[in-house]
């Protein structure tokens, strides 16, 4: 074919881009296209932080395309209509894109494929979801056998290099990339493929061997923080996989190898939740476990607002929520703690938390975010037992032992001694005065008693009446 469209969705990169590579193989001219879909832009699951990261990423990608002799064409509108118009304008004979597994994306792509020559290529995951099924063709609903199957597959092909040169794009109208809306105040993630590679290399060189030991410490830089780049495809899952594989080959001790394998397991969890969303799309709005769909969640607007704004009176919960609101990111251990607090301590519907996280997270991924929330709530596939209730005091003491994480994000507790930092309400009043933090005035008293809340949630999950 003479001309093809490379429809960019969640693959803002030139290297290891199978959709781009196939388009270049089949067509002499390849036109990079990104569509602003009004339906997605208006979604309750989209927020300014991730849009800002997306737009910055598009600017960076456009700059790289221009260096290669190409450029980005940006359009806005209903995808089928816009793509049809572009095909007519450019005389494109094919559309190449990475396959996406969200319910909306699949419905959209199926509709487009009925009319236009849409070719979908792998890339969002290391292995396509369709490859990871049981012998009888049924999907896995438990992580361990899924992981075993995943690890047993022959290694995927090595990441593809970026093309050295791209075809010149014909004269076509294009919108300006929107400005950055409401950039987070402490936004430390720079968009773009080069930044993603830099962060990956730094983690492989300086962090992956200690990952198993440090990953749960909220006060330390023990994680890769690559999730935002994987979410928008500034880094491919395959690139992450091969980097981990090379690190494993260079590991000198079993401890170092354990660090690599533990990180690789997190990558497999990402693919597991992608598979769950692909085969069970109802999980976006419904508990996976049928017997837990009848939980009577509490209607508590004040409690929800306190949780959202980081004013619950539990320091580790408040620190985590303020980190999210300020930076667009949150440590994974903190995600579990805050999710448990909302669903178990406050007995508020996990869907409220899922939506709020999607609105705030740079790495807000419909599969991983839903999977994490349902895991913590105990309603999902392969979930934590419903009776597991995270104690926010003990979690803080264990994973932020000196309180440095709390002090960073909750400055009113900056001078509180470490032995009181995770339960400041037990501080003697004289100590409160000395450190300039009166509980109830400078920092909230706890909005719920954890011990009482635990009893209440066990009654609710057991289908028994509880006192609201």
Q: What is the DSSP letter of 93?
A: -
At residue 468 the predicted structure's pLDDT band, cuts being 50, 70 and 90, is very low
> Residues 6 or more apart from 51 whose CB is under 8 A from it?
41, 178, 181
**Count of the separate structural domains present in the chain:** 3
**In this structure, are 255 and 296 located in the same domain?**
no
**In this structure, are 310 and 355 located in the same domain?**
yes
Q: What CA–CA distance (Å, rounded) separates 132 from 92? A: 34
Domain that holds residue 226: 193-279
The tokens for 136 are 């009888």
**In this structure, are 274 and 373 located in the same domain?**
no
Residue 332 is among the residues annotated as catalytic for this protein: yes
Contact 381, 245 (CB under 8 A): no
Domain boundary (279, 305, 326) is at 279
pLDDT in tens, 306-329: 999 999 999 999 999 999 999 999
The tokens for 237 are 């899952």
Q: In what order do the strands lie in the sheet with 29-36?
A: 73-76, 29-36, 3-8, 94-98, 118-121
- Mean pLDDT, to the nearest integer, of 460-468? 67
Q: Identify the residue whose tokens are 């509108």.
A: 77
**In this structure, are 269 and 334 located in the same domain?**
no
Residue 269 is among the residues annotated as catalytic for this protein: yes
Contact 353, 334 (CB under 8 A): no
Helices (H), 186-253: 193-206, 211-214, 227-231, 237-250
Active-site option among 7, 150, 269, 375: 269
Q: What CA–CA distance (Å, rounded) separates 329 from 322? A: 10
pLDDT in tens, 345-391: 999 999 999 999 999 999 999 999 999 999 999 999 987 777 889 99
Active-site option among 350, 369, 370, 412: 350
Other Cβ atoms closer than 10 A to 368: 22
Asked whether residue 394 is domain-assigned, the answer is yes
Alpha carbon 131 to chain centroid distance?
A: 23
Report pTM: 0.96
CATH number for the domain harbouring residue 363: 1.10.579.10
**In this structure, are 332 and 406 located in the same domain?**
yes
Residue 31's SS3 state is strand
pLDDT in tens, 217-233: 999 999 999 999 999 99
**In this structure, are 434 and 334 located in the same domain?**
yes
Give the pLDDT of residue 129: 92
**In this structure, are 245 and 294 located in the same domain?**
no
Give the pLDDT of residue 385: 79
Residue 242 is among the residues annotated as catalytic for this protein: no
> Residues 6 or more apart from 286 whose CB is under 8 A from it?
293
Domain boundary (251, 279, 307) is at 279
In terms of pLDDT, which residue wins out, 465 or 168? 168
**In this structure, are 454 and 321 located in the same domain?**
yes
At residue 182 the predicted structure's pLDDT band, cuts being 50, 70 and 90, is low
Residue 434's SS3 state is helix
Residue 373 is among the residues annotated as catalytic for this protein: yes
Active-site option among 84, 332, 404, 425: 332
**In this structure, are 274 and 295 located in the same domain?**
no
Residue 354 is among the residues annotated as catalytic for this protein: no
The tokens for 149 are 């199957």
**In this structure, are 435 and 304 located in the same domain?**
yes
Residue 7 is among the residues annotated as catalytic for this protein: no
- Mean pLDDT, to the nearest integer, of 238-256? 95
Residue 112 to residues 24, 94, 129, Cα–Cα distance (Å) = 21, 12, 21
Domain boundary (240, 255, 279) is at 279
Q: Exposure of 401 by Cβ count < 10 A (0-12 exposed, 13-18 middle, 19+ buried)? A: middle
Active-site option among 373, 375, 391, 412: 373
CATH number for the domain harbouring residue 273: 1.25.40.80
CATH number for the domain harbouring residue 73: 3.40.50.620
**In this structure, are 30 and 66 located in the same domain?**
yes
Asked whether residue 400 is domain-assigned, the answer is yes
Give the pLDDT of residue 386: 78
Active-site option among 266, 271, 354, 412: 266
**In this structure, are 246 and 342 located in the same domain?**
no
């Amino acid at each position: 074919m003479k001309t093809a469209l490379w429809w960019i969705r969640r693959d803002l990169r030139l290297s290891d881009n199978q959709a781009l590579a196939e388009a270049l193989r089949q067509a002499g001219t390849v036109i990079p296209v990104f569509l602003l879909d009004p339906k997605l832009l208006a979604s309750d699951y989209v927020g300014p932080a991730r849009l800002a990261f997306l737009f910055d990423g598009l600017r960076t990608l456009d700059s790289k395309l221009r260096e290669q002799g190409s450029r980005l064409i940006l359009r806005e509108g209903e995808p089928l209509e816009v793509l049809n118009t572009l095909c007519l304008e450019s005389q494109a004979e094919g559309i190449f894109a990475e396959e996406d597994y969200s319910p909306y994306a699949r419905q959209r792509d199926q509709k487009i494929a009925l009319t236009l020559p849409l070719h979908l290529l792998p890339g969002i995951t290391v292995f396509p979801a369709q490859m990871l099924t049981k012998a009888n063709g049924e999907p896995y609903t438990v992580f361990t056998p899924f992981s075993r199957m995943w690890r047993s597959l022959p290694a995927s092909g090595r990441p593809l290099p970026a093309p050295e040169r791209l075809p010149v794009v014909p004269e076509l109208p294009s919108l300006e990339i929107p400005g950055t809306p409401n950039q987070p105040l402490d936004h430390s993630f720079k968009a773009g493929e080069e930044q993603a590679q830099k962060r990956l290399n730094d983690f492989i060189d300086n962090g992956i061997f200690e990952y198993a030991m440090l990953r749960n410490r909220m006060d330390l830089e023990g994680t890769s923080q690559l999730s935002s780049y994987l979410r928008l495809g500034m880094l491919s899952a395959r690139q992450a996989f091969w980097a981990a594989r090379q690190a494993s080959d260079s590991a000198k001790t079993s401890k170092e190898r354990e660090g690599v394998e533990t990180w690789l397991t997190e990558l497999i969890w990402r693919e597991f939740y992608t598979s769950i969303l692909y085969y069970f799309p109802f999980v976006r709005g419904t508990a996976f476990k049928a017997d837990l769909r009848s939980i009577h969640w509490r209607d508590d607007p004040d409690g929800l607002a306190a949780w959202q704004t980081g004013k619950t009176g539990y320091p580790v919960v408040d620190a985590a929520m303020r980190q999210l609101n300020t930076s667009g990111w949150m440590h994974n251990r903190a995600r579990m703690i805050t999710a448990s607090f909302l669903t178990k301590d406050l007995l508020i519907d996990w869907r409220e938390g899922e939506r709020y996280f999607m609105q705030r997270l740079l790495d807000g991924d419909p599969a991983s975010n839903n999977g994490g929330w349902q895991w913590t709530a105990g309603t999902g596939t392969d979930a934590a037992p419903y009776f597991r209730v995270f104690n926010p005091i003990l979690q803080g003491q264990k994973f932020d032992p000196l309180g440095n994480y709390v002090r960073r994000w909750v400055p009113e507790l900056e001078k509180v001694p470490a032995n009181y930092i995770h339960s400041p309400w037990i501080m003697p009043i004289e100590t409160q005065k000395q450190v300039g933090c009166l509980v109830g005035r400078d920092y909230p008293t706890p909005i719920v008693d954890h011990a009482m809340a635990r009893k209440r949630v066990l009654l609710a999950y057991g289908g028994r009446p509880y006192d609201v």
